[in-house]
């Protein structure tokens, strides 16, 4: 848990130096937390299906997930891609925003 909190702190610090705006930092960490919680929730849901409704798990062809070293590696890969994708999107927003200081939803979609 300490390592996760330290990594979020390092990400916040990097984004503060990179973009100079606290909203980008908060949005990046919230996106990261969302991605991890959604993935861990899917793993927990599959475990629940197998443990409490085995007939439904068999029908859906869901197996019990265990968090072992390959699963941790997959979660760390998810974190890396999520942070990288978020930084690329924010960099594009910063580039478009340089042309027009008023940030609109259309600019973010573009």
pLDDT for residue 53: 93
Q: Residues with Cβ < 8 Å from 67, sequence gap 6 or more?
A: 43
CA distance 16 to 91: 13
Query: How many CA atoms within 13 Å lie on the side-chain side of 78?
Result: 16
Reported as a single tens digit per residue, the pLDDT across 63-76 is 888 888 888 888 88
Q: Are 90 and 76 in contact (CB under 8 A)?
A: no
pLDDT for residue 91: 81
Q: Are 62 and 54 in contact (CB under 8 A)?
A: no
- CA separation (Å) from 108 to 49, 84, 91? 39, 17, 11
Supply the mean pLDDT for the chain. 82
Model pTM? 0.71
């Amino acid at each position: 848990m300490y390592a996760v909190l330290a990594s979020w702190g390092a990400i916040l610090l990097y984004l503060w130096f990179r973009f100079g705006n606290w909203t980008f930092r908060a949005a990046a960490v919230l996106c990261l937390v969302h991605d991890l919680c959604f993935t861990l929730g899917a793993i927990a849901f599959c475990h629940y299906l197998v443990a409490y409704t085995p007939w439904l798990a068999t029908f859906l062809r869901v197996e019990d997930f265990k968090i072992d070293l390959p699963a941790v590696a997959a979660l760390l890969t998810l974190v890396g891609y999520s942070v990288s994708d978020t930084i690329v999107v924010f960099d594009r927003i910063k580039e478009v925003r340089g042309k027009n200081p008023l940030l609109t939803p259309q600019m973010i979609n573009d």
